[in-house]
Every structure is written in C-alpha cells, then in structure tokens.
Amino acid sequence: MFTTATLERLQCPECDVIFGPWSLISADPGALGDLYNLLYRVYSEGTTITWQEKAFYLMNPARHGVYMNYASGEWLAGVRRLRAIGWNVWGYEPHLNTVRCRPDRASGLVDRIEDTGTTAFDGIFTHNFLEHPQNPRAFFTDLHGLLKPGGAMVHSTPCFELRFDASPFHLYFFVGRSFATLCAGTGFDVVERLESDREDPGSFVAIARCRKT
C-alpha cells in the first residue's frame, strides 16, 4: 500500500512491544517529515471526529479545565464542536508543515504550545498518533511535563494490537505488557482499557485512559 520495501518488525522480549522498521525509527526527524509530506500528497485519512470526542469525554473533563488534542492534524471539526459548546480544548499540531492547514488560534489550532495560554493541562488526548513517535518514552516524558498533577491522558488507536501494520509509518504496536511498562517508566498509571466493536475490524479502536502520578 505504501512502499515496495520489505517491512521488518521486532518484538521486545522484556516488554512485548513490536517495533520497526528501524530505518524510520532512527531516521533524522526532518527526513521523516519529508516522507510524511510525500505521503499526504496521495493519501488522506478519513474523518476521526467521533473517536476524538470519545477520547475527550473519557477524561471526565471539568468545565474549568484546559485540554489538548495532541497531534490533531487537519481534522479539527471535533475540536471546533467541543469549543462551540464551551469546552476549553486546543488542537496542537507539532508538524503543521506535513498537513494541509495553518495555525488558527481563533479556531483552536496552534503549532506552539505556549499559544494556548498555558503549559499545564488538565488532560491530553490523542487519536491514531501513539504509533507514530520515534521515541515513545521521550514523548510520554514530554506529556508528563505538560499535565497538572493527577491530570488525565487518553490514547485512542488500533495499534494496541498488531493492526494496520502495512504502513511503515506505524512504528510501534503496544501489545501485551508494553503500554503498561511505558506508563510505569514515565510517571503514569493505566486507569482503564476499552475496546470498540470487534465485528468491524476496519474501524476497531482500543483506548487507554491514564493518570499522571
């Protein structure tokens, strides 16, 4: 679907995580960004509003809280709907050069966290992103620093299993003990694990709700 190259993946015997291809995990971030630019010229992900909103509400948000949809991409309809009914939600996209949109603070999309007016969030959520960071431990450490004590974190992705593995851009699959191990090593507790309907494998999503310790 994405490349003619052979996909090689490895599994860690200590924590169970499946990872690879190593060429993308170890690539220069700028070079990887260039590959994403090429990808999005020919490929467009379907709408994910429903899952973004589900991830948001699983954080048990409070009206006075401030929340972030991390790596929201160009799929901002969910953020706009939540903001329209009074939630203080921001769409943060650290790689706007790889998507077809521009920062728009009035609509809630920023490419610099300080533009949200805070660096201490009550909750952070992602959808279809957990499998993409080159260094998951560094990513979770960054999220830990952005959350208030006891803050919520929710990740929604099918890659809690070995699914949609045809894409070389899916670098990690958090099977078995791997996600709990990652959380324990970066200051989070896993509070809850949920799954969508397995009868529709094309839209299967698993969700993990966590808390900053």
Domains contained in the chain, CATH given: 10-212 (3.40.50.150)
This prediction's pTM? 0.91
Q: Give the closest residue to 88 by CA, choosing from 56, 54, 47.
A: 56
The confidence score (pLDDT) of residue 107 equals: 79
| Among 16-30, 52-66, 156-170, 190-204, the least confident range | 190-204
pLDDT tens across 32-83, in order? 888 887 877 776 666 677 888 889 999 999 999 999 999 887 667 778 889 9
Alpha carbon separation from 83 to 79, 108, 208 (Å, rounded): 6, 8, 23
- 192 — phi, psi (to 5°)? -160, 145
| Amino acid, res. 26 | S
* C-beta neighbour count of 182 within 10 angstroms: 21
Say whether pLDDT at 137 is over 80. yes
Say whether pLDDT at 101 is over 70. no
